[in-house]
Structure 1
Amino acid sequence: MLERLARRLGLRTDPVIFFTSAALTFVFVVTAIGLTDQVDSVFRAASDWLKSSLGWFYILGVTTFLVFLLWIALSRYGHIRLGGQEARPEYSNRAWFGMLFAAGIGTILMFWGVAEPISHFANPPQTDVEPESVEAAQMAMGYSLYHFGLHTWTIFCLPALSFAYFVHRRGLPYRVSSILHPLLGERIHGPVGRAIDITAVMGTLFGVAVSIGLGTMQINSGLADLFDVPENRLVQILIITVVTLIATGSVVAGLDRGIKRLSNFNISIAIALMLFVLVTGSTLFLLRGVIETTGTYLSWLVPLSFWNDTFGDTGWQGSWTVFYWAWTITWSPFVGIFIARISKGRTIREFVTGVLMLPTAFTVVWFSVFGLSAINLQMEGEADLVAEVVDQGDIPGALFAFLNNFPLSTFVAAVSVFIVVIFFTTSSDSASLVVDLLCVGKTEQASPTRQRVFWAITEGVVAGTLIAATGTGGLTALEQVITVVGLPFFVLGFLMMFSLLRALRQDFPQLGGPPPGMFRAELADRRRAVTRRANRARRKAVQVRRGIGRREETGASEDDGGER
């Protein structure tokens, strides 16, 4: 029945994944609207329990993923090329990085570049540090970069590498279930595989919906600062509509003409904005600060990678780090598949180095410029960003409150709104492409544009419905859902590592030890064969020694006879 419906609608997709995901998303949205309080209470309780009881698992998980990626990049598997040894990258390094940034973390940097450092500066994560002190400033930068540096990109890189390997080396579909092929075999094409892919589709839609909601609030705050536009639901619905229309146009244009052009254009403007803050602000202070902040991040990286607030138990880590990791990992199928899609032809070493190091280096510079500038303005008494952002809780307006202290503030704020719009547009555009790939699963044919347009509109409808029906309460409820949904994705991350390593050993046995898929009986046969060869060699050695002994005795007897 679903196949007939798909044919009538002119769709070329897996009907079970497509229609089930669409139906479950609709049911969830309707339930969240109609039973907001009940849904909120259930997921708040589950989210609170996860943060307090399993926060250590989230911390351990991301750190383990990072260590694994660094090891595999430096290992003998690092030279393996994704797509075959003759394949070469389809995009230049500049274009590749631009799409990485826009699809992965560009939106987050615009939102949190000022807000998080100033928040931690006013309320340090560790209670023994005096607020708004030099130590609080160092801590604010260290924790902010911990949240948005290597660890965030690790969450994206692990599934991206797994997708890239199984799609480009083994020719499997662009689906989360393909990653588990060494473990599930052909069952990835059955009910188990479809259940995994449906969960990935919903997680992607909800993760993008939360980001669109936060981006809408930031854009609304910027428009209020520029044109006194009221901050209400109607305006936010209109903003979502505009963003969705732009994303739909980019979807129609396709990956090369749509996402690629928007990403390259927007990253250039974002860099220009950062240079503007650097040049018109305290330039010498910021140049020194970039170097010092890099050292702070590197020196704090290992301790924070294992920090679980064991002695303080303040709950701070659950509200910040654990939520970030859980939210980010719901994005991992979306960002992972997108990165895999644009990374064919690169070696594993190039892939891991590029995905981890380049965005992290840019993040360090970005936070150093924006975060240190905000902290410096506060410490010098030139602005009271703590009162505007922290005390009043205006996180979405942090960037614009910050830019009001620079020349050409109105123009720069307008440019910033434009950057945020494009970043969220490219995220929605990329997510539409990936969700469609999750449903289609076939790499040899292009899917109808209407399918990608459907998912782009669905993302906007999900975010718009939540804002229209429940406002910030709906978004908070969705964030709590994502925190809960993030748990199985972390478990999946460990399976990804095991599955990828097994596949590498199976496909390239000459680079590692015995294939992990070898049966015990086969392994026992090999041991017996080795033992037999050793025994034969031992017997031969004994025979040789005995032969030498007999020859020596015979020779001695002949000598004796001759003497006699």
Structure 2
Amino acid sequence: MNDKKTNNIVYYISLIVVFGIVGWGILGKDSFEMAANGLYKFLTDNFGWTYLISMFLFVGFATFLAFSKYGNIKLGPDDSKPEFKTSSWFAMLFGAGMGIGLVFWGVAEPLNHFAHTPFGIQSGTPEAANFAMRKSFMHWGFHPWANYSIIGLALAYFQFRKNRPGLISSIFIPLLGEERVKGPLGKTIDIFAVFATVAGVATSLGLGTLQINGGLNYLFGLPITKTVQISIIAIVTFVYIWTAVTGIQKGIKILSDINLFTAITLLIAVILIGPTIKIINSFTNGLGMYMSSFVRDSFHIEPFGDNKWIGDWTIFYWAWWIAWAPFVGTFIARISKGRTIREFILGVIVAPSLASFVWFAAFGTLGIDLGVDMATKAAKVTETALFITLEQYPLGSIISLIAVFLLCTFFITSANSATFVLGMFTSEGDLNPSNTKKIVWGIVQALLALALLLAGGLTTLQVGSVAAAFPFIFIMIFACVSLLKALRAEKIN
């Protein structure tokens, strides 16, 4: 038995902060919603540019490293080999980075943009359809994956090549020194990482609960109520805590494989039952628009106009991805030992982005092809947009059932991984955190998702994600500086 004592200050302070927010959300939901909306408006009005510039910097930094002299450096000893074959590695990357969000927004986002097009573009027109696909590609393309690559690469480098603990604070040893990283400053960084992870995952769990409820309503007539949503969270929470505590990796791996197979099956089915040629053309055209307008869209903010759309969509997404960076980055780092920096960056950014483009081309075109009236109807309730759209096509009920199953498996695997990572973050980077900590964090995630749902639904979930992500922007920027400093000390042949 391992009786090693660990410093639990990160664990206890993180719990106090998160439980404080959960309690406020449940007991004072009106004041919580008011405060959250005020904070959301303040951040998007005054600091929207910060999200835009930082995310572009992450893309630029990752690209620089991939094609620089540092690209051949191994994430581990020079003679180390990758632990996973490339196909499995790609599959795990894709599942970890997007999860529930891809199913939730695959139809809903393009339809929202098509039916309610901003910036003076007439809704329901071919121009609106092109705008919808371009922005969907933008929000789910290189930016989020580059963001994940920053934390993932830095963690993998320090963990496997420098033998440091699996903590976000370990990244900053070259900048701060070992003593400071072990002191209050390092603990503060790890607390931010915990809070960003909990809020980011809770956002996705909340979104997943809303959509599972919508799917069950469509398929079986189950009412869309808070009671049903609480029941969904309770059942799935039991399952993902149970799998985390048992630690049966074979079982978790089987579930992940089923996840990937189900997603591919759903995608192929949609391409076959939908307007196939239009889907192919939409992918081709969307990719061209995305590449040609990449820089302009990366920095797009209205200095003299209304930025509500940009705040509600682009800045929300950038905040969401930043909030997920500690969790997804840690997971990606764990599966990337033995890869070179160039392999890591191109694999983490390019391959999953292309998969996302195919997904949005298929599901977005499926909805847009039904016309603006159907798009408007479907977009009224975001969490049921997918099922309303599928209803218009052959085998819609069967495909909807597959989609609900995929939502559940994504829900469980995302929460299970996050529970493990949170346990690690609050156990001094221990690769085998105690079951007690896994159970506590599993329950905390569920409570936060529940609190945000009760306090105002999707809008409050968005706000929670933006608020949690903001301080982590600066942690990630300094992570780039610290990693570059460490790489410069490498002896490159």
State TM-score, norm by structure 2.
Answer: 0.95
Report how far residue 365 of structure 1 moved: 0.5
The answer to whether the 8 A contact 1:175-1:441 is kept is yes
Instruction: Give the drift of 1:32.
Output: 2.3
Bigger shift: residues 61-70 or 457-466: 457-466
Q: Equivalent residue for 1:556? A: none
Is the aligned partner of 1:402 residue 2:389?
yes
From the superposition, tell whether residues 11 and 482 of structure 1 become closer, same or farther in structure 2 (CA, over 3 Å): farther
Q: Report the counterpart of residue 140 of structure 1 in structure 2.
A: 132
Contact 1:222 1:400 in 2 (8 A): yes
Partner of 1:81: helix, strand, or coil? coil
Which residue, 401, 417, 421 being the options, matches 1:430?
417
Q: 1:122 aligns with which of 115, 118, 124?
A: 115
Which amino acid letter does the alignment assign opposite residue 441 of structure 2?
Answer: W
Q: Separation in 2 of the partners of 1:325 and 1:472?
A: 21
What whole-Å deviation, never above 9, does each CA across 1:130-166 have from its counterpart, x for those lacking one? Answer: 1111111111100111011111112211111111111
Maintained 8 Å contact 2:100/2:208: yes
Further displaced range: 24-33 or 153-162: 24-33
Residues 1:258 and 1:98: Cα distance change in structure 2 (over 3 Å): farther
Residues 290-336 of structure 1 show CA distances to partners (whole Å, capped at 9, x for unaligned) of 22222122122222112222354342111111111112211111111
Q: Secondary structure at the match of 1:250?
A: helix
Distance in 1 (CA, whole Å) between partners of 2:47 and 2:349 is 26
Are 2:13 and 1:24 equivalent residues in the alignment? no
Question: Structure 2 residue aligned with 1:416, among 387, 391, 403?
Answer: 403
Is 1:472 the equivalent of 2:459? no
In the aligned structure 2, how far is the partner of 1:329 from the partner of 1:430? 17
Question: Contact (CA 8 Å) 2:140, 2:353: kept in 1 or not?
Answer: yes
1:450-481 per-position Cα deviation (integer Å, ceiling 9, x unaligned):
432332232123223444xx3535x5335323
TM superposition shift of 1:253: 4.7
The separation in 2 between residues aligned to 1:336 and 1:478, in whole angstroms, is: 22
2:374 corresponds in structure 1 to 385
Per mean C-alpha deviation after superposition, the further-off stretch among 106-115 and 214-223 is 106-115
> What is the distance in 2 between the residues matched to 1:244 and 1:439?
20
Q: Encode CA deviations 1:93-146: one digit per residue, 9 max, x unaligned.
A: 22222221222102111000100101111122322x111111111111001110
> Which among 155, 169, 181 is matched to residue 173 of structure 2?
181
Distance in 1 (alpha carbons) for counterparts of 2:361 and 2:205: 25
Matches of 2:5 and 2:30, distance apart in 1: 39
Cα RMSD (Å) of the superposition?
A: 1.9
Residue 288 of structure 1 and its aligned partner are, at CA, apart by 2.4
State which of 479, 493, 496 in structure 1 corresponds to 2:479.
Answer: 496
1:440 corresponds to which residue? 427
Match of 1:459 in 2: 445
Q: CA deviation at 1:241?
A: 1.5
Give the direction of change, closer, same or farther, for the CA distance of 1:12–1:103 in structure 2 (3 Å limit): farther
Q: State how far apart, in whole Å, the 1-side matches of 2:455 and 2:399 are.
A: 29
Match of 2:490 among 503, 507, 522: 507
Match of 2:162 among 155, 162, 170: 170
* Counterpart position of 2:27: 34
Task: Give the structure 2 partner of residue 149 of structure 1.
Answer: 141
Shift in CA distance, 466/321, structure 1 to aligned 2, threshold 3 Å: closer
- Residue of structure 1 equivalent to 2:62: 69
Alignment size in residue pairs? 491
Alpha-carbon deviations, 1:412-455, whole Å to 9, x = none? Answer: 11111000011111110111111111112345x63333432332
What is the CA deviation profile of residues 473-500 of structure 1, one whole-angstrom value per residue up to 9, with x for unaligned ones? Answer: 5x53353233223221111121011111
Q: With CA pairs under 8 Å and 6+ residues apart, which has the higher RCO, 1 or 2?
A: 2
Q: Is the 8 A contact 1:153 1:356 kept in 2?
A: yes
* DSSP 3-state at the match of 2:489: helix
Per-residue CA deviations over 1:6-54 (Å, capped at 9, x if unaligned) read x9xx896532112222222112211222233333333322221221122
Give the counterpart letter for 2:209 in structure 1: T
Whole-angstrom CA distance in 1 between matches of 2:251 and 2:480:
33
> How far apart are residue 261 of structure 1 and its match?
2.4
Who is 1:14 aligned against? 7
Larger radius of gyration, structure 1 or 2? 1
| Equivalent residues of 1:12, 1:440 under 8 A apart | no
The answer to whether the Cα contact below 8 Å between 2:115 and 2:124 also exists between their aligned partners in 1 is yes
CA contact (8 A) 1:11 1:451 kept: no
Q: After the TM superposition, which of the residue ranges 286-295 and 188-197 deviates more from structure 2?
A: 286-295
Q: Would the aligned equivalents of 1:103 and 1:335 in 2 still touch at CA under 8 Å?
A: yes
Match of 1:43 among 30, 36, 39: 36
Alpha carbons of structure 1 residues 35 and 472: separation in structure 2 relative to 1, 3 Å: closer
What are the superposed Cα offsets for residues 208-241 of structure 1, whole Å, 9 maximum, x if unpaired?
Answer: 1121111100000000000100111111111112
Q: How does 1:50-449 map to 2 (within 5 A)?
A: 50-127=43-120, 129-186=121-178, 187-254=180-247, 256-378=249-371, 384-390=373-379, 393-443=380-430, 446-449=432-435
Measure the CA separation in 1 of the matches of 2:443 and 2:192. 19
8 Å CA contact 1:233, 1:471 repeated in 2: no
TM (norm. structure 1) is 0.83
What SS does structure 2 have at the residue aligned with 1:472? Answer: coil
Structure 1: stretches of 5+ with no match in the other structure: 1-6, 512-564
CA contact (8 A) 2:25 2:455 kept: no
Unaligned regions of 5+ residues in structure 2, if any?
none
Q: Percent identity?
A: 39
